[in-house]
Amino acid sequence: MTLSPAQKSAALTSTEQTSTEQTSTEQTLAEQAPCSSKRLLIVVLAAGESKRFEGVKLAQLIPSLSATGISEQAIISTHVERLQQLYCQDLDLERQETPSLQHSSLLIILGAHQPILQPLLAELHSRQPFDILVNPQWQTGLASSVSLAASYVKEQGFDAMLLTLADQVALSVEDYRQLILMWHKTGKEVAAHYLDDLGVPAIFNASTLPLFTHLSGDRGAKSILKQQAQQGALVAITLPSAAIDIDTQADLASWLALKE
């Protein structure tokens, strides 16, 4: 999805305006949500060719927020490190026990540029291990990666999976916390709502995974999200930052300019 600079600016501004509200929401959910022993798999989809970018998009350097003092990191490394931070933070799902995401795991699905991207993740993997799967059918489109993730969830006995795109560069740790806390609270599927539509990042329960076998080509999970919403089985959370992803060199330049 390519947004105009004006749309991206609006999304970024909206994200900043809602940060205080999100913090308040997270605190309320943390107080209400019961402790859950359910296992959640966080899946980062990073198998695409990024043909429109005319280069290895996820290897592009962006300003780093790493505590290691690194000034720039590849897009994929920055996103994965952000997700790893979830494991180090206390979700406070039940104040008496204050568990962290000990029942969650992280999976990265690579494909077209695996020989380039996997070495970029080596240091992060050494700090806090995660799984990597290579999608041999990445040429057939996004649906093959989503289906691969769903199969992995079933085989490994996870209760749900959180899908996110590696190029959703504006998502924060707080955004993910909000999704996960809502899932713990309601037990329903949870999806981001932005640009008047549902999308990823989103959490799908294991019972929904058979629906992913019907996807093909570049169809992601949007149709499933809409179906679940119509059945009242989904909760939507406003996440303006999810609207910002990188498809072209111009997208990256516009986003970096908005951050300055």
Per-residue pLDDT, 91: 58
Residue 9 has pLDDT above 60, yes or no: no
- With a cut of 60, say whether residue 202 has pLDDT above it: yes
- HEC readout, the chain: CCCCHHHHHHHHHHHHHHHHHHHHHHHHHHHHCCCCCCCEEEEEEECCCCHHHCCCHHHCEEECCCCCCCCEEEHHHHHHHHHHHHHHCCCCCCCCCCCCCCCEEEEEEECCCHHHHHHHCHHHHHHCCCEEEECCCHHHCHHHHHHHHHHHHHHHCCCEEEEEECCCCCCCHHHHHHHHHHHHHHCCEEEEEECCEEEEEEEEEHHHHHHHHHCCCCCCCHHHHHHHHHCCCEEEEECHHHHCCCCCHHHHHHHHHHHC
Write out pLDDT tens, residues 238-253.
999 999 999 999 999 9
pLDDT tens-digit readout, 150-180: 999 999 999 999 999 999 999 999 999 999 9
- Per-residue pLDDT tens over the stretch 71-115: 899 999 999 999 998 866 555 554 434 344 444 699 999 999 999
pLDDT in tens, 38-58: 899 999 999 999 999 999 999
Mean pLDDT of 196-203: 96
